[in-house]
Amino acid sequence: MSRYEYFLDMAYDALDRRSPGEAMTWCKKAITLDPGGAEAYYCKGEALDMSGMWQEAVGCYRKSLEQNPDFIEAILNLAEILLDDSAETLDEVFQLIDRGERVAKEMNDDHLLADVYYIRGNAYYCTNELDKALKAYDRALELVAEHPSFLVARGMTLFLMLDYEAADKALQRAVALDPESAEAHHNLGLVKEKLGQEAFAIRELAQATRLDPERFPKPARVAREEFEKAVEKALAELPEPVKSHLRNVAVIVEDYPSREQLKDLKEIGDPQLLGVFNGTPYPSENHSLMPGQIHLFQRNIEKVARDRAELEEQIRITVAHEVGHYYGMSEEDLAAIGLD
Strands (DSSP E) along 44-125, which ranges?
A: none
**Residue count of the chain:** 340
Tens of pLDDT, residue by residue over 167-199, are 999 999 999 999 999 999 999 999 999 999 999
Instruction: Name the band, by pLDDT with cuts 50, 70 and 90, for residue 247.
Output: confident
Tens of pLDDT, residue by residue over 263-311, are 877 566 688 999 998 877 776 645 555 568 899 999 999 999 999 999 9
* Topology of the domain covering 3-211: 1.25.40
C-alpha distances (whole Å) from 104 to each of 107, 109, 135 are 5, 6, 18
Is the pLDDT at 29 greater than 60, yes or no? Answer: yes
> Which of 218, 214, 241, 199 lies closest to 308 in space, CA to CA?
218
Q: What is the mean pLDDT of residues 301-325?
A: 92
Asked whether the whole model's pTM tops 0.85, one would answer yes
Residue extents of the structural domains in the chain: 3-211, 224-336
Instruction: Name the band, by pLDDT with cuts 50, 70 and 90, for residue 32.
Output: very high
Instruction: Output the pLDDT for position 278.
Output: 84
> Which of 337, 324, 314 lies closest to 249 in space, CA to CA?
324
User: What number of CA atoms fall less than 13 Å from residue 309's CA on the CB side?
Assistant: 0
- 224-336 to CATH, choices 3.90.1150.10, 2.60.200.20, 3.30.2010.20, 1.10.30.50: 3.30.2010.20
